[in-house]
């Protein structure tokens, strides 16, 4: 008996862990629709990784950073420029193994300080060689800043996990999962906007940038959203196919006169689509647009040669959105056409 109780408890625990409310939702919807149209079909759901491009290796996503000649900064007399401590910190063992976020903080602090230093040194005719060297460094670093921002954000482990293709979908009836990371993405967008400005200052509270990466680390929204889009795209496509197949046969209603089957169809449409699946579609689409638009705000100001994978996953012309929007339109038309057979065509 004790063995049986343990086995039963294990099964219950396993069931809780593996529970996927979103998949349960779409399977119930598909099953009810199949019964209502008397066109049996079972959802054949592929894994997200079978549908969407996988994240390229980190080295393939890295944008090149032009190196500064070794020792050039150390040769400059920076005592009068308020740069010595910053450069010294960069050259410590911590600086050499700094994370992408720490390197970005350094660049965003160094460039405005170096430009201010140049303005001061230009007043001294004896320091013109130093001015020329410092200008060269600033020019190189300014040109590399978009790539540095790209690398710090889109090759970071914190952002990478949001493009994993192995997460469960977003749970239904839990809107707002995008909310905790929205300020982080907005902050990244503000930083990427600096590349379009000439005389910018170090952003306020830049030393707190790492806290935004921590917030990103504590969320799996992006990966969950991709799983939801894969789930919904397949559900809408396959349900539309079943309805279209039914439309090729005998109409449910003769001369649009409603009957018992049309009442069943209408009830399924209202209860399992309008009141059940559609709110989940709205949740996924609304929060997905926020996620996609904020990422585009960041990336559109940064290098284009390393972002094809990103466009496929977030751009409205990319694979994820394109397939979903096509499936949604097809599904809507199918329902309109079959309900129209009974004079029940809605404006969905």
- The 10s digit of each residue's pLDDT in 268-278 is 999 999 999 99
Considering the domain boundaries, does residue 12 fall inside one? Answer: no
In terms of Cα–Cα distance, which of 57, 137, 145, 156 is closest to 104?
145
| Domain carrying residue 321 | 20-54+221-340
Give me the pLDDT at residue 76, please.
63
Query: Could you read off the pLDDT of 202-216 as tens digits, one per residue?
Result: 998 898 999 999 999
Please give the Cα distance from 111 to 79 (Å, whole number): 16
Indicate whether 110 belongs to any domain: yes
Whether 82 and 207 map to the same domain: the answer is: yes
Please tell me whether residues 74 and 190 are part of one structural domain: yes
Q: Are residues 68 and 203 in the same domain?
A: yes
**How far is Cα 25 from Cα 33, in angstroms, rounded to an integer?**
12
pLDDT of residue 95: 58
Q: Is the pLDDT confidence value at 82 over 80?
A: no
Residues 230 and 206 in one domain: no
Identify whether residues 80 and 186 lie together within a single domain: yes
Look at 79-93, 151-165, 248-262 and tell me which has the smallest mean pLDDT.
79-93
Sign of CA dihedral 101, 105, 110, 112: positive
Co-location of 207 and 311 in the same domain: no
Instruction: Evaluate whether residue 255 is within a structural domain.
Output: yes
Number of structural domains found in the chain? 2
Same domain, residue pair 49 and 132: no
256 shares its domain with 283? yes
On whether both 106 and 202 belong to a single domain, the answer is yes
Q: Where are the alpha helices (DSSP H) in the chain?
A: 2-17, 21-37, 48-51, 58-61, 72-75, 84-90, 93-96, 100-121, 128-154, 157-160, 182-193, 209-217, 221-247, 260-268, 278-299, 308-314, 319-340
Q: Are residues 183 and 296 in the same domain?
A: no
pLDDT for 4 equals 37
Q: What is the pLDDT of residues 182-196, one digit of tens each?
A: 999 999 999 999 999
Q: Which residues contact 14 (CB under 8 A, 6 or more apart)?
A: none
pLDDT band per the 50, 70, 90 thresholds, residue 10: very low
pLDDT for residue 2: 37
| Residue-level pLDDT at 112 | 94
Question: 57-61, 72-76, 105-109 — which is least confidently predicted?
Answer: 72-76
The pLDDT of residue 120 is above 60: yes
Which range among 4-8, 33-37, 265-269 shows the weakest confidence by mean pLDDT?
A: 4-8
Does the structure show a pLDDT above 50 at 168?
yes
- Note the pLDDT tens digit of each residue in 218-273: 999 999 999 999 999 999 999 999 999 999 999 999 888 999 999 999 999 999 99
**What is the C-alpha to C-alpha distance for residues 225 and 233, in angstroms, rounded to an integer?**
12
Same domain, 109 and 244: no
288-302 pLDDT per residue, tens: 999 999 999 999 999
Looking at the structure, tell me whether residues 324 and 229 fall in a common domain: yes
């Amino acid at each position: 008996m004790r063995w049986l109780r343990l086995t039963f408890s294990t099964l219950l625990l396993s069931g809780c862990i593996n529970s996927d409310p979103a998949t349960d939702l779409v399977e119930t919807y598909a099953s009810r629709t199949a019964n209502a149209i008397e066109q049996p079909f079972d959802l054949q759901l592929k894994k997200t990784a079978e549908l969407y491009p996988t994240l390229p290796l980190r080295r393939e996503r890295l944008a090149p950073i032009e190196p500064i000649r070794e020792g050039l900064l150390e040769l400059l007399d920076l005592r009068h420029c308020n740069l010595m401590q910053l450069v010294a910190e960069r050259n410590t063992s911590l600086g050499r193994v700094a994370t992408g976020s720490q390197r970005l903080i350094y660049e965003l602090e160094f460039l405005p300080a170096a430009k201010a230093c140049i303005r001061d040194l230009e007043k001294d005719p004896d320091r013109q060689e130093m001015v020329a060297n410092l200008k060269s460094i600033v020019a190189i670093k300014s040109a590399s800043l978009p790539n540095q921002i790209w690398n710090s954000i889109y090759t970071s482990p914190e952002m990478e996990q949001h493009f994993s293709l192995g997460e469960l979908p977003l749970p239904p009836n839990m809107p707002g999962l995008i909310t905790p990371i929205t300020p982080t993405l907005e902050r990244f967008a503000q930083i990427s906007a600096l590349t379009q400005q000439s005389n910018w200052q170090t952003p306020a509270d830049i030393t707190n940038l790492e806290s935004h990466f921590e917030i990103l680390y504590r969320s799996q929204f992006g990966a969950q959203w991709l799983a939801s889009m894969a789930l919904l795209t397949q559900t809408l496509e396959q349900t539309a196919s079943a309805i279209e197949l039914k439309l090729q046969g005998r109409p449910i209603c003769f001369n649009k006169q409603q009957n018992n089957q049309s009442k069943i169809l209408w009830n399924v449409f209202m209860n399992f689509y309008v009141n059940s699946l559609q709110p989940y579609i709205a949740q996924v689409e609304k929060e997905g647009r926020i996620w996609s638009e904020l990422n585009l705000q960041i990336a559109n100001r940064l290098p284009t040669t390393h972002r094809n994978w990103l466009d496929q996953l977030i751009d409205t012309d990319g694979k994820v959105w394109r397939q979903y929007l096509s499936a949604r339109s097809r599904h809507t038309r199918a329902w309109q056409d079959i309900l129209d057979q009974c004079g029940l065509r809605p404006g969905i």
